[in-house]
Amino acid sequence: LAKTTQPISMDSYEGQEVNITCSHNNIATNDYITWYQQFPSQGPRFIIQGYKTKVTNEVASLFIPADRKSSTLSLPRVSLSDTAVYYCLVGDPRLSGGYNKLIFGAGTRLAVHP
């Protein structure tokens, strides 16, 4: 499983765009990149998943360069409620016939200030 590296913490202010970059130099051909969000005392919540180029949903955008060795989660116009830990995960959802365990790192603690 590819190891990921992301900043331990980030600070931002309400209304700003936040970009969190994740490095995954050993990503395999079949691996997808997935981001989860976790609020205190809650379970992680799936945000977005992508394989290459750009993926956008109602919550965030995910940018993946051609070499796929890194990815950037972009949160537009953050609010105080976006204060959370963000995890970058890399893995093949089809591994072992569909059984897939998620490998979490320490994540990035995002603090949004008024």
- In whole angstroms, give the CA distance from residue 78 to residue 54: 20
Q: Which residues are CB-contacts of 81 (< 8 A; sequence separation ≥ 6)?
A: 112
Tell me how far, at minimum, the Cβ of 87 lies from other proteins, in Å.
6
- In whole angstroms, give the CA distance from residue 77 to residue 17: 5
- In whole angstroms, give the CA distance from residue 2 to residue 97: 19
Tell me how far, at minimum, the Cβ of 101 lies from other proteins, in Å.
4
When asked if residue 52 is in the footprint of other proteins (CB under 8 A), the reply is no
Tell me how far, at minimum, the Cβ of 29 lies from other proteins, in Å.
16
Selected range binding other proteins among 14-22, 54-62, 76-84, 99-107, rule: CB under 8 A: 99-107
Q: Which of 5, 9, 56, 103 binds other proteins (CB under 8 A)?
A: 103
When asked if residue 98 is in the footprint of other proteins (CB under 8 A), the reply is yes
- In whole angstroms, give the CA distance from residue 51 to residue 34: 9
Q: Are 27 and 69 in contact, with CB atoms under 8 Å apart? A: yes
Residues that bind other proteins (CB under 8 A): 32, 34, 41-46, 49, 85, 87, 89, 91, 93-107
